[in-house]
Protein backbone atom coordinates (compact mmCIF):
# COMPACT_ATOMS: atom_id res chain seq x y z
CA UNK A 1 0.00 0.00 0.00
CA UNK A 2 0.99 3.63 -0.34
CA UNK A 3 3.48 4.91 2.21
CA UNK A 4 4.85 8.40 2.77
CA UNK A 5 8.23 9.31 4.23
CA UNK A 6 9.39 12.81 5.11
CA UNK A 7 13.05 13.79 5.01
CA UNK A 8 15.10 16.92 5.47
CA UNK A 9 17.21 18.89 7.95
CA UNK A 10 16.05 18.80 11.54
CA UNK A 11 17.59 22.19 12.33
CA UNK A 12 17.16 25.42 10.38
CA UNK A 13 18.57 28.84 11.24
CA UNK A 14 16.24 31.80 11.77
CA UNK A 15 15.56 33.72 8.54
CA UNK A 16 16.61 30.65 6.57
CA UNK A 17 14.53 28.33 4.40
CA UNK A 18 13.04 25.08 5.63
CA UNK A 19 13.14 22.38 2.95
CA UNK A 20 11.47 18.99 3.27
CA UNK A 21 10.72 16.17 0.87
CA UNK A 22 8.03 13.52 1.03
CA UNK A 23 8.79 10.30 -0.82
CA UNK A 24 5.78 8.32 -2.05
CA UNK A 25 6.17 4.55 -2.22
CA UNK A 26 3.74 1.80 -3.16
CA UNK A 27 1.86 4.00 -5.57
CA UNK A 28 2.22 6.77 -8.12
CA UNK A 29 2.26 10.44 -7.27
CA UNK A 30 0.46 10.93 -10.58
CA UNK A 31 -2.68 9.20 -9.32
CA UNK A 32 -5.82 11.20 -8.52
CA UNK A 33 -4.70 12.53 -5.17
CA UNK A 34 -3.80 15.80 -3.55
CA UNK A 35 -0.54 15.73 -1.61
CA UNK A 36 -0.43 17.90 1.48
CA UNK A 37 1.83 19.25 4.17
CA UNK A 38 0.54 19.63 7.74
CA UNK A 39 2.48 20.82 10.76
CA UNK A 40 2.11 20.63 14.52
CA UNK A 41 4.08 22.85 16.92
CA UNK A 42 5.12 21.11 20.14
CA UNK A 43 2.11 20.59 22.39
CA UNK A 44 -0.27 22.30 19.96
CA UNK A 45 -2.81 21.41 17.30
CA UNK A 46 -2.61 20.66 13.59
CA UNK A 47 -2.17 23.31 10.90
CA UNK A 48 -2.66 22.62 7.18
CA UNK A 49 0.11 24.25 5.16
CA UNK A 50 -0.88 23.49 1.60
CA UNK A 51 -1.22 20.86 -1.11
CA UNK A 52 -0.28 20.00 -4.66
CA UNK A 53 -1.75 17.88 -7.45
CA UNK A 54 0.50 16.01 -9.86
CA UNK A 55 -0.34 18.57 -12.53
CA UNK A 56 1.38 21.17 -10.39
CA UNK A 57 -1.79 22.88 -9.22
CA UNK A 58 -1.43 24.13 -5.65
CA UNK A 59 -3.49 25.48 -2.77
CA UNK A 60 -1.91 27.22 0.21
CA UNK A 61 -2.98 28.32 3.67
CA UNK A 62 -3.33 32.12 3.38
CA UNK A 63 -1.50 32.61 6.67
CA UNK A 64 1.63 31.02 5.16
CA UNK A 65 1.12 31.62 1.45
CA UNK A 66 3.73 34.36 1.09
CA UNK A 67 6.45 32.05 2.43
CA UNK A 68 5.44 28.61 1.11
CA UNK A 69 6.24 26.75 -2.08
CA UNK A 70 5.13 23.17 -2.66
CA UNK A 71 6.44 21.37 -5.73
CA UNK A 72 6.22 17.90 -7.24
CA UNK A 73 8.88 15.74 -8.89
CA UNK A 74 7.08 13.00 -10.80
CA UNK A 75 10.34 11.40 -11.95
CA UNK A 76 11.28 10.77 -8.31
CA UNK A 77 7.72 10.14 -7.11
CA UNK A 78 8.03 12.78 -4.44
CA UNK A 79 6.86 16.24 -3.47
CA UNK A 80 8.54 18.97 -1.52
CA UNK A 81 7.95 21.86 0.84
CA UNK A 82 9.93 25.08 1.07
CA UNK A 83 9.14 27.58 3.81
CA UNK A 84 11.17 30.77 3.72
CA UNK A 85 12.07 33.38 6.33
CA UNK A 86 11.55 30.96 9.19
CA UNK A 87 11.33 31.95 12.84
CA UNK A 88 11.04 30.01 16.07
CA UNK A 89 7.27 29.93 15.50
CA UNK A 90 7.89 27.55 12.58
CA UNK A 91 9.36 24.92 14.93
CA UNK A 92 7.07 21.93 14.56
CA UNK A 93 6.62 18.35 13.49
CA UNK A 94 5.95 18.44 9.76
CA UNK A 95 3.78 15.74 8.21
CA UNK A 96 3.04 14.93 4.61
CA UNK A 97 -0.33 13.38 3.81
CA UNK A 98 -2.48 12.12 0.96
CA UNK A 99 -6.04 13.14 0.13
CA UNK A 100 -7.95 11.32 -2.58
CA UNK A 101 -9.27 13.84 -5.10
CA UNK A 102 -12.95 13.03 -4.70
CA UNK A 103 -15.72 14.83 -2.88
CA UNK A 104 -15.71 14.28 0.85
CA UNK A 105 -12.39 12.47 0.97
CA UNK A 106 -9.92 13.27 3.74
CA UNK A 107 -6.26 12.69 4.59
CA UNK A 108 -6.16 8.90 4.67
CA UNK A 109 -2.41 8.28 4.58
CA UNK A 110 0.19 10.17 6.60
CA UNK A 111 3.93 10.10 6.90
CA UNK A 112 5.44 9.51 10.32
CA UNK A 113 6.40 13.16 10.65
CA UNK A 114 9.72 14.93 10.99
CA UNK A 115 10.66 17.42 13.70
CA UNK A 116 12.13 20.70 12.49
CA UNK A 117 13.61 23.13 14.98
CA UNK A 118 14.35 26.73 14.06
CA UNK A 119 17.28 27.91 16.13
CA UNK A 120 20.65 29.55 15.73
CA UNK B 1 -11.76 31.37 6.51
CA UNK B 2 -13.95 28.72 8.14
CA UNK B 3 -13.25 28.24 11.84
CA UNK B 4 -13.88 24.97 13.65
CA UNK B 5 -14.59 24.93 17.39
CA UNK B 6 -14.31 21.64 19.22
CA UNK B 7 -15.84 20.98 22.60
CA UNK B 8 -14.84 19.99 25.11
CA UNK B 9 -11.13 20.61 24.75
CA UNK B 10 -10.47 18.08 27.49
CA UNK B 11 -12.50 15.10 28.56
CA UNK B 12 -11.95 12.64 31.39
CA UNK B 13 -13.75 9.31 31.00
CA UNK B 14 -13.67 5.68 32.06
CA UNK B 15 -13.36 2.51 30.03
CA UNK B 16 -16.82 1.56 28.81
CA UNK B 17 -18.17 5.12 28.83
CA UNK B 18 -20.03 6.62 25.89
CA UNK B 19 -18.15 9.70 24.74
CA UNK B 20 -19.34 12.51 22.47
CA UNK B 21 -17.20 15.27 21.00
CA UNK B 22 -18.70 18.22 19.16
CA UNK B 23 -17.26 20.25 16.29
CA UNK B 24 -18.96 23.48 15.22
CA UNK B 25 -18.15 25.27 11.98
CA UNK B 26 -18.34 29.04 11.61
CA UNK B 27 -20.30 28.57 8.37
CA UNK B 28 -21.97 25.68 6.62
CA UNK B 29 -19.68 22.99 5.27
CA UNK B 30 -22.28 20.48 4.08
CA UNK B 31 -20.95 17.06 5.13
CA UNK B 32 -17.32 17.75 4.31
CA UNK B 33 -15.94 17.00 7.75
CA UNK B 34 -13.40 14.44 8.90
CA UNK B 35 -12.33 13.16 12.31
CA UNK B 36 -8.82 12.06 13.23
CA UNK B 37 -7.30 10.34 16.26
CA UNK B 38 -3.78 11.18 17.32
CA UNK B 39 -1.70 9.43 19.95
CA UNK B 40 1.48 10.97 21.43
CA UNK B 41 4.40 10.91 19.04
CA UNK B 42 2.30 9.52 16.20
CA UNK B 43 0.74 10.88 13.05
CA UNK B 44 -3.00 11.48 13.02
CA UNK B 45 -5.17 8.57 11.92
CA UNK B 46 -8.30 9.07 9.85
CA UNK B 47 -11.41 7.74 11.62
CA UNK B 48 -14.35 9.23 9.75
CA UNK B 49 -14.79 11.24 6.56
CA UNK B 50 -17.79 12.85 4.90
CA UNK B 51 -19.13 13.43 8.44
CA UNK B 52 -20.35 9.87 8.96
CA UNK B 53 -18.42 7.40 6.78
CA UNK B 54 -16.19 5.08 8.78
CA UNK B 55 -12.70 4.72 7.33
CA UNK B 56 -11.78 1.14 6.47
CA UNK B 57 -10.38 -0.74 9.45
CA UNK B 58 -11.74 1.63 12.10
CA UNK B 59 -13.77 -0.08 14.85
CA UNK B 60 -17.53 0.33 14.64
CA UNK B 61 -17.68 1.85 18.13
CA UNK B 62 -16.68 5.09 16.40
CA UNK B 63 -19.43 6.98 14.64
CA UNK B 64 -19.93 10.45 13.24
CA UNK B 65 -22.99 12.53 12.51
CA UNK B 66 -24.05 16.01 11.51
CA UNK B 67 -24.13 18.36 8.57
CA UNK B 68 -24.01 22.07 7.97
CA UNK B 69 -22.38 23.60 11.03
CA UNK B 70 -22.69 21.03 13.81
CA UNK B 71 -21.03 17.65 13.94
CA UNK B 72 -20.40 14.98 16.54
CA UNK B 73 -17.97 12.12 17.01
CA UNK B 74 -19.24 9.38 19.31
CA UNK B 75 -17.34 6.50 20.84
CA UNK B 76 -20.00 4.08 22.02
CA UNK B 77 -17.87 2.23 24.58
CA UNK B 78 -14.49 3.73 25.31
CA UNK B 79 -11.60 1.28 25.15
CA UNK B 80 -8.10 1.68 26.66
CA UNK B 81 -6.60 2.25 23.20
CA UNK B 82 -9.00 5.15 22.56
CA UNK B 83 -7.32 7.51 24.98
CA UNK B 84 -5.89 10.06 22.58
CA UNK B 85 -6.50 13.50 21.10
CA UNK B 86 -9.23 13.88 18.49
CA UNK B 87 -9.35 16.53 15.75
CA UNK B 88 -12.02 17.52 13.29
CA UNK B 89 -11.19 19.01 9.87
CA UNK B 90 -13.30 20.74 7.26
CA UNK B 91 -12.74 19.86 3.61
CA UNK B 92 -15.58 21.89 2.15
CA UNK B 93 -13.73 24.90 0.93
CA UNK B 94 -10.45 26.68 0.55
CA UNK B 95 -8.51 28.77 1.22
CA UNK B 96 -7.65 26.64 4.22
CA UNK B 97 -8.55 23.04 5.09
CA UNK B 98 -8.93 23.99 8.74
CA UNK B 99 -8.54 21.71 11.74
CA UNK B 100 -10.34 22.09 15.02
CA UNK B 101 -8.38 22.77 18.17
CA UNK B 102 -8.52 19.18 19.40
CA UNK B 103 -10.13 17.24 22.23
CA UNK B 104 -7.91 15.28 24.58
CA UNK B 105 -9.56 12.20 26.03
CA UNK B 106 -7.92 11.01 29.23
CA UNK B 107 -8.55 8.22 31.71
CA UNK B 108 -10.66 9.13 34.72
Domain that holds residue B98: 4-107
Q: What is the CATH number of the domain that holds B78?
A: 2.60.40.10
CB-CB neighbors (< 8 A) of B32 in chain A: 103-104
pLDDT at residue A100, as a whole number? 85
pLDDT at residue A120, as a whole number? 95
**B2-to-A51, A78, B96 alpha-carbon distances in Å:** 18, 30, 8
pLDDT above 90 for A14:
yes
Interchain contact A42–B (C-beta under 8 A):
no
Do the chains contact at B46 and A112, CB–CB below 8 Å?
no
Average pLDDT, chain B: 96
pLDDT above 80 for B102:
yes
Closest approach of B99 to chain A, Cα-based (Å): 6
Chain segment B11-62, per-residue pLDDT in tens:
999 999 999 999 999 999 999 999 999 999 999 999 999 999 999 999 999 9
Specify the number of domains making up chain B: 1
Q: Which of A104, A26, A109, A83 lies closest to B33, judged by CA?
A: A104
Closest approach of B98 to chain A, Cα-based (Å): 7
Distance CA A63, CA B5 (A): 19
Interchain contact B54–A (C-beta under 8 A):
no
Amino acid sequence: QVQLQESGPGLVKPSGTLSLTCAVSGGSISSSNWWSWVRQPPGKGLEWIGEIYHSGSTNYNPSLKSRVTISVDKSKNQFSLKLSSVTAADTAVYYCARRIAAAGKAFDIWGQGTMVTVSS
Amino acid sequence: DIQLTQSPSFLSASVGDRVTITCRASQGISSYLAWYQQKPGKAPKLLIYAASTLQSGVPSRFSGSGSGTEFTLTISSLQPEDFATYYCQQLNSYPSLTFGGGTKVEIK
